[in-house]
Amino acid sequence: MTLAKDSLREIILNIADVALKIKCEGQPRSCRAFKKFTAERCLSVKDTWFLDSIDINKKGSKKKLSRGAKSFFFDDPVRIDLENKRITRFHSSDTRQAPALNDRLITYAYSQALSAEHGMLLHAAAVVKDKRAYLFLGSSGAGKSTAASLCAKYKIIGDDVVAVKRSGASYGVFPTPWKQAPFTKGAERSKAEIKAFFFIRKSSRVSFKPIPPEEALKRMLYSHIHFLVLTRRPLLDDIFATASGFVRDIPAYDMEFTRDDDFWPELEEAVDARR
């Protein structure tokens, strides 16, 4: 499906203080939360990334990033212009999707823009207490949403996908519109400095064990950074530098927890003991 350029409108999304301008028809279909991240205006044109889709004639691809309407064909060429902060997807017309109106493509674009801004998208939940954030990392089914729900008395920034970005000597966590549970309501403009992070596992007990930075880095790179395997140099080097600094400066722990117990007293005891 090819749309005339004058039939498209521009929207600006602001996630982790990174603005992304998109030309599209309507709002992204499967993520209503995008509306909460829409910026009134571009705060700084020089700091704004642009996402374009250019329709091309090409036979259908077999390499999809995900299934169904959310998918985009990754072996359609994607060009990233770092100097002009522009991400261009050469769009196959036979996929029958409106240009740039694709949540997964937008997610990928943000992962690349964050990489260039000393950031990364993490598969993690984030809980804030006393203005400090604690991240819970885990693959699907590990218990991120469960751990976050047990912390309902604190502010929950996200329960599945969060943005992390370095600012000076500290690292902040920001909410994203992707896969957020109802108990994260109202956290769209929140951010907090990260104090510690945890690789979680459901168990019959509560326990915390410090792990060295090199082990934490290996785990993060292996399974917790979104689109890492689809990121090319020099952005791949940027992510590695960001992740390396993160594990060096932020303490990491193995964490076991049950779905019925308040683990927060043991968490704070473990973090305080490592100072």
Query: 73: domain range?
Result: 5-116
Q: Do residues 53 and 169 share a domain?
A: no
Whether residue 164 sits in one domain with residue 81:
no
Give the tens place of pLDDT for each residue, 127-174: 998 889 999 998 777 778 888 888 888 888 888 889 999 988 899 999
Query: Residue 70 pLDDT > 50, yes or no?
Result: no
Last residue of a domain, one of 94, 116, 138: 116
Is 96 found in the same domain as 158?
no
Amino acid identity, residue 199? F
**What whole-number percentage of the chain has pLDDT above 70?**
72
Q: pTM of the predicted model, to two decimals? A: 0.81
CA–CA dist 173, 132 (Å, integer)? 10
pLDDT tens-digit profile of 26-51?
Answer: 555 545 667 777 776 655 666 789 88
Tell me: do 159 and 265 sit in the same domain: yes
Within this chain, do residues 21 and 109 fall inside the same structural domain, yes or no? yes
Question: 261: pLDDT confidence band, cut at 50, 70 and 90?
Answer: confident
Number of domains present in the structure of the chain: 2
Residue type, 110: Y
**What CATH number should be reported for the domain holding residue 254?**
3.90.228.20
CA distance 86 to 227: 18
Indicate if the pLDDT at residue 118 is higher than 90.
yes
DSSP string covering 105-124:
HHHHHHHHHHHHTTEEEEEE
CA-nearest of 197, 89, 92, 194 to 138 is 197
Give the residue from 46, 81, 116 where a domain finishes. Answer: 116
Mean pLDDT of 217-238: 91
pLDDT in tens, 169-183: 899 999 988 877 766
Same domain, 216 and 110: no
Token couple for 84: 């002009």
Give the domain-ending residue among 90, 116, 142.
116
